[in-house]
Amino acid sequence: MTGEALQLEDLYVKISGARIIEGLTLHVGPGEIVGLAGRNGAGKTTTLRAISGLVGRTGGAVRLGGRALPAQPERVALAGVSHVPEGRGIFGDLTVGENIRLGRRAAQADGSLLRRLEARFPAVERLRHEKAGRLSGGEQQMVALVRGLVSGPKILLVDEMSLGLSPRALTTAIESLVEIGGSEGIGVLVVDQNSTMLSTYCDRVYLLRDGRAEVWDGSGAASSSYFG
């Protein structure tokens, strides 16, 4: 279930009467890794939540493969969009294996994708029987990524990729994500404040300000303007 583009066109989101997203347009193609950066409160997390149906969209369009993406979380997931939330969203009392099984669907019942993911994320296989809550931040991030990828999504949304990770763990996680996304044709949208990481690994980086996004050319002036 890969190979379709995600398109946001003139997206608007209002929460408690306040406009958070005002005319946001961006594109994530198959196999691309695309970054969305900006200051705290710029609307990065809200953008991902609007895509996945966790907050309402008040205007504009969200399309997957040229078709309107539903606004209900369960229908978004069935359409092929997987969301790794800020904080990773893993269940600490469950084992690594149990967490990953929660991400599987009948389409991947043969386990072929899981075996490929385990080959790229060997720590996940090694820790299969460990309680997820006992893992390091880097190990938990790997589990969250594998759980998000194991259903074979068309698009993977990752919120705050670098949160709580050491530089080494972050490098391992993002390089693994780039390789898996490219080889499986999965488009990835990564939200993060780490502009250096995004500019190094992403095919394209959008900077979010005043509810709108511009493609960042990597210049220091733009960086200081957005990140202070």
Pair type for strands 187-191 and 204-209: unpaired
> Residue 11 falls within a domain, yes or no?
yes
> Residue 96 falls within a domain, yes or no?
yes
The segments of the chain whose pLDDT lies below 70 read: 1-2, 105-111, 218-228
**pLDDT tens sequence across 186-214:** 999 999 988 899 999 999 999 999 888 99
Q: 176 and 119 in contact (C-beta within 8 Å)? A: no
Task: Give the residue numbers spanning the domain of 18.
Answer: 6-218
The candidate with the shortest Cα–Cα distance to 151, out of 77, 90, 86, is 77
Instruction: Return the CATH number at 106.
Output: 3.40.50.300
List the Cα angle 178/179/185 in 5-degree steps: 85
User: Per the structure, how many domains does the chain have?
Assistant: 1
* pLDDT at residue 56, as a whole number: 95
| Euclidean distance between CA atoms 222 and 205, whole angstroms | 12
With residue 147 as reference, give the H or E element that holds it. helix 137-149
> Residue 227 falls within a domain, yes or no?
no
> Residue 15 falls within a domain, yes or no?
yes
Share of the chain above pLDDT 90, in %: 58
**pLDDT tens sequence across 158-174:** 999 888 888 888 898 89
- Strand residue runs (E) in the chain: 6-15, 18-28, 33-37, 59-64, 67-68, 81-84, 155-159, 187-191, 204-209, 212-215
> Residue 223 falls within a domain, yes or no?
no
